[in-house]
């Protein structure tokens, strides 16, 4: 008689977590790749408990970079920024987890590395705003748009890992 409610409870818990799962687009920019920081950056997201569900290395065209940064097209640094993003390989990733969009931004740190806290990726590993080594989606809508821009649906994986019960309880 106890077995069924317990199983139902477990299922509810699992569904509750699934509902809270979100995905963020994270990219290591050409400076981070050239400086040999790929593993360091991936490691920070991985150790936190977030799950890597898509990854590839690509050299974006300038046109593609302009699409990615379309929100910034009126800014004076837009052209230089797009030239820079398309100047070399970028590691494009999708990370999944509870709160990954907002907390991913915390792991990354403030846009200007001079203002990023020590302990953050930009705070520890970058010096100037034009070479701040990493991009992370700034909200649920941009995350969706950026994932769709950089990845085809079949490039996104979906899997469970045995560590999840130790990360989420
Ligand atoms: P974030 O990447 O933290 O979301 P923004 O969306 O404001 O920041 O800007 C996108 C990128 O544009 C930054 O990561 C940085 O590489 C570049 N950028 C922002 N501000 C400047 C600036 N004043 N001068 C040069 N590049 C800038």
| Beta pairing class for 21-28 and 134-136 | antiparallel
**Bigger pLDDT: 92 vs 6:** 92
* Nearest residue to 146 via CA among 50, 65, 36, 73: 65
* Rounded distance from Cα 167 to ligand 1 centre (Å): 32
State which of 30, 31, 79, 81 you would mutate to test the pocket of ligand 1, scoring each by most atoms of that ligand within 8 A of its C-beta.
81
Does the structure show a pLDDT above 70 at 110?
yes
* Rounded distance from Cα 26 to ligand 1 centre (Å): 14
SS3 169: coil
State the DSSP code for 112.
S
Asked if 60 and 29 touch (Cβ cutoff 8 Å), the reply is: no
Q: Distances from the Cα of 108 to the Cαs of 13, 46, 84, 102, 135, in angstroms?
A: 30, 13, 19, 10, 8
| Confidence (pTM) | 0.92
pLDDT tens by residue, 139-159? 999 999 999 999 999 999 999
Task: Quote the pLDDT of residue 18.
Answer: 62
Does ipTM surpass 0.90 in this model?
yes
Other Cβ atoms closer than 10 A to 16: 10
**Is 51 annotated for ligand binding?**
no
Paired tokens of 138: 């700034």
DSSP code string of 38-76 = HHHHHHHHHHHT-EEEEEEEE---HHHHHHHTGGGTTST
State which of 41, 90, 127, 130 you would mutate to test the pocket of ligand 1, scoring each by most atoms of that ligand within 8 A of its C-beta.
130
Task: Quote the pLDDT of residue 61.
Answer: 98
**Is 111 annotated for ligand binding?**
yes
Please tell me the distance from the alpha carbon of residue 131 to that of residue 91, in angstroms, as a whole number. Answer: 15
* Nearest residue to 68 via CA among 145, 151, 152: 145
Nearest CA to ligand 1 atom 17: 130
Q: Which residues line ligand 1 (CB under 6 A)?
A: 72, 77, 81, 111, 129-130, 132, 135, 138
* Rounded distance from Cα 144 to ligand 1 centre (Å): 20
pLDDT tens by residue, 57-76? 999 999 999 999 999 999 99
């Amino acid at each position: 008689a106890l077995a069924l409610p317990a199983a139902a409870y477990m299922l509810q818990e699992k569904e509750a977590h699934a509902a809270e799962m979100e995905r963020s687009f994270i990219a290591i920019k050409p400076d981070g790749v050239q400086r040999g920081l790929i593993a360091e950056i991936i490691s920070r997201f991985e150790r936190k408990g977030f799950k890597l569900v898509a990854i590839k290395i690509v050299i974006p065209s300038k046109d593609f970079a302009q699409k990615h940064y379309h929100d910034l097209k009126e800014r004076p640094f837009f052209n230089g920024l797009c030239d820079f993003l398309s100047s070399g390989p970028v590691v494009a990733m999708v990370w999944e987890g509870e709160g990954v969009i907002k907390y991913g931004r915390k792991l990354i740190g403030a846009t200007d590395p001079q203002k990023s806290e020590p302990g953050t990726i930009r705070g520890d590993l970058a010096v100037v705003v034009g070479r701040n080594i990493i991009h992370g989606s700034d909200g649920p809508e941009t995350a969706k748009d950026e994932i769709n821009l950089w990845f085809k649906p079949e490039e996104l994986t979906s899997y469970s890992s045995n560590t999840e019960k130790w990360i989420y309880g």
